[in-house]
Amino acid sequence: MESLTNRKVVVSDKPMTFMEKLYLPGILKGMLVTFRHILMRRKTIKYPEETREFAPIYRGMHVLKRDEQGRENCTACGLCAVACPAEAITMTSEERTNADKHLYREEKYASMYEINMLRCIFCGLCEEACPKEAIFLTDRLVPTQFERGEFIYGKDKLVEPVDHRIDITKRQFTGKRTTL
Amino acid sequence: MPNVLMMVKVTIDGIEVEVEAGTSILNAARKIGGDAVPPAMCYYSKLPGTGGKCRTCLVEVAAGSTADPRPMPKLVASCSTPVQDGMVVNNKTSERVHNNRGGVVEFLLANHPLDCPICDQAGECHLQDLGYEHGSAKTRYEEERRTFDPIDIGNKIKLHMNRCILCYRCVFVANQLTENRVHGVLHRGEHAEISTFIEQAVENDFSGNMIDVCPVGALTDRTFRFKSRVWFLKPMDAERSCSKCCGKAVVWMFGNEIYRVTARKDKYGEVEDIDGKTAWLCNDCRFEHKSAADWNIAGPRVISRNSVISQGKYATSIEKPVKRIG
């Protein structure tokens, strides 16, 4: 019967010719390929010492941004959680007191904000849904851990430190929203 | 024959319907249902006297009546215009209505703050729906939005005057449901605001219904303030025996906890009629009973699948909504 894919190869056991029996031409041909690769540019890098460049829109570990005055942008509106297809985000909100005005930008803030990095599929929909430009995915990787519980990232790991800001200016959704 | 009501025929968006004489165009359209129904921000069928303030229900009258088939020159407010025999009304089918409604929405949003991420009404806000359908993504308004100093009207109801669109529904609630009205609208024009007499707390058995009738987030439940977002909660039909009201409500649950209690609302966002009476809730049921043991929970409430409230609640994983009896 005619093959459907035409991918099968018929095995033949015809006897080797004189040239093939010599072996040497075959070995030389193979070595030529090997030596050609010595002259080529290397395709690998020495990983821990050297790292590859990330794309500006690489979707890695999340960051919760602060504004110029160091106040948290997140207002716990819940749009990231409702947009999340993996249901990785949970939060509880609280009303800001007058004493906390320098900590949170809006009247309401997230008292607890957790992302389960084991559930997260790094799709970036939370970043797209955020109306306050608070959550961004960054080019940082989520480090490996031994315990599952350590992958639940709270605000201590997500909110950027005031003195060590995370650059997100190259992200697709930076500066797209009016902040009122 | 005094008991026989005169019926008139009216055509809305090409669909003919027969209604009693004296019915408003809006109510005739609601009899048809679907896309023929104009939106309403201030009219509330359960509160006599409401309507005619927000202008979102404007419709085009292509023919006044059989006796006088001339079209009405301007768009009319469908909530306060009675139908006439042979009237032809265009709502969804009219480009003019659509454009005008977009203009009305722009006016309503001119002074409305863009604080939906904070607002507890987000997800069940009529202005949000309207803005989604008609509003533009950008504002043309360059002036500062009007702001008011916050007023404390008690520990149960939170008033955000900045969000108010002055529909007067809450004033009608206070007039018609409570014994002594203690709040109303002060000042005029741009300075008009809902307030109480010398910052008196609103304390009436039925004052909590102001929260349910408010189409925006101007009046919200203070006991639910910032607790959660409506789309994370599961609305359940529940009942309890109450001496003051019908005791039939919707409890919004998260796990086994009741986060808030609201009245049962129909598809127009109005409190439902149960056993021939509007099911207003008393403050006792609404604010004081937040334990699952207080309520007899019947089952999940039917929510439109287009609503954000039904988001994340997979139809297969939760119990099938039961059809309510009565």
Average pLDDT along chain A: 90
Query: E strand or H helix at B171, and its extent?
Result: helix B169-177
Residue B42 DSSP code: S
Same fold, B7-103 and B111-224: no
Chain A residues within 8 A of B115 when measuring between CB atoms: 106-107, 180
Which tokens in the block code for residue A3? 């093959």
Pairwise pLDDT comparison (A68 vs B190), residue with the higher score: A68
B59, amino acid identity = V
CB A89 within 8 A of CB A81: yes
Q: Which fold has domain B7-103?
A: Ubiquitin-like (UB roll) (3.10.20)
Domains and CATH numbers, chain A: 62-158 (3.30.70.3270)
Q: Which residues of B touch A (CB under 8 A)?
A: 113-118, 122, 138, 225-229, 231-232, 308, 311-312
Q: What pLDDT sits at residue B1?
A: 46
CB B26 within 8 A of CB B55: no
Pairwise pLDDT comparison (B178 vs A79), residue with the higher score: A79
Chain B residues within 8 A of A77 when measuring between CB atoms: 116-118, 122, 229
Domains in chain B: boundaries: 7-103, 111-224, 230-310
CB B304 within 8 A of CB B315: no
Closest partner CB to B117 (pick from A75, A94, A178): A75
Instruction: Give the max Cα distance, chain B.
Output: 62
Whole-angstrom CA distances from B109 to A177, B81, B171 are 18, 25, 21
Chain B residues within 8 A of A75 when measuring between CB atoms: 117-118
CB neighbour list of residue A51: distance below 8 Å, 6 or more residues apart: A45
Closest partner CB to A180 (pick from B114, B231, B232): B114
Q: What pLDDT sits at residue B96?
A: 94
Query: What end-to-end distance do the CA atoms of chain A give, in Å?
Result: 72
| Percent helix / strand / coil, chain A, rounded to 5 | 25, 15, 60
Report the C-alpha gap between A99 and A176 in whole angstroms.
Answer: 31
Q: What pLDDT sits at residue B318?
A: 47
ipTM at complex level: 0.79
Q: Is the pLDDT of residue A180 over 70?
A: no
pTM here is: 0.82
Q: What pLDDT sits at residue B190?
A: 79
User: In tens digits, what is the pLDDT along chain B, a chain of 326 residues?
Assistant: 455 678 999 999 999 999 999 899 999 999 998 889 999 999 999 999 999 999 999 999 999 999 999 999 999 999 999 999 999 999 999 999 999 999 999 999 988 998 899 999 999 999 999 998 887 877 888 888 888 888 888 888 898 989 999 888 988 888 888 777 777 787 878 778 877 765 667 778 888 898 999 999 999 999 999 999 999 999 999 999 999 888 899 999 988 899 999 999 998 989 999 888 899 999 999 999 999 999 999 988 888 877 888 876 655 444 555 555 54
Q: What pLDDT sits at residue B320?
A: 54
C-alpha triplet B196, B202, B204: angle, nearest 5°: 135
Q: Is the pLDDT of residue A21 over 80?
A: yes
**Which of the four pLDDT bands, split at 50, 70 and 90, describes residue A66?**
very high
**Nearest chain B CA: its distance from A74 CA (Å):** 10
Residue B92 half-sphere exposure toward CB, CA atoms < 13 A:
15
Chain A residues within 8 A of B231 when measuring between CB atoms: 78, 82
8 Å CB contact of A95 and B226: yes
8 Å CB contact of B312 and A87: yes
8 Å CB contact of B113 and A180: yes
Q: What pLDDT sits at residue A172?
A: 84
**Nearest chain B CA: its distance from A56 CA (Å):** 27
**Pairing mode, strands B7-12 and B87-90:** parallel
Q: What pLDDT sits at residue B103?
A: 92
Report the C-alpha gap between A151 and B31 in whole angstroms.
Answer: 55
Residue of A nearest to B232 (CA): A82
Segments in chain A forming alpha helices (H): 18-22, 24-39, 79-83, 125-129, 155-158
Q: Is the pLDDT of residue A43 over 60?
A: yes
In CATH, the number for domain B111-224 is 3.30.70.20
CB B271 within 8 A of CB B212: yes
Beta pairing partners, B258: B253
8 Å CB contact of A77 and B229: yes
Chain A residues within 8 A of B225 when measuring between CB atoms: 95
Q: Is B28 exposed, middle or buried (0-12, 13-18, 19+ CB in 10 A)?
A: buried
8 Å CB contact of A180 and B229: no
**Nearest chain A CA: its distance from B42 CA (Å):** 27
Chain B residues within 8 A of A90 when measuring between CB atoms: none
Q: Which residues of A touch B (CB under 8 A)?
A: 75-79, 81-82, 87, 92-95, 106-108, 131-132, 178, 180
Buried b (16+ CB within 10 A) or exposed e, B46-84: bbeebbebbbbbbbbbbbbbeeeeeeeeebbbbbbbbbb
Chain A residues within 8 A of B114 when measuring between CB atoms: 178, 180
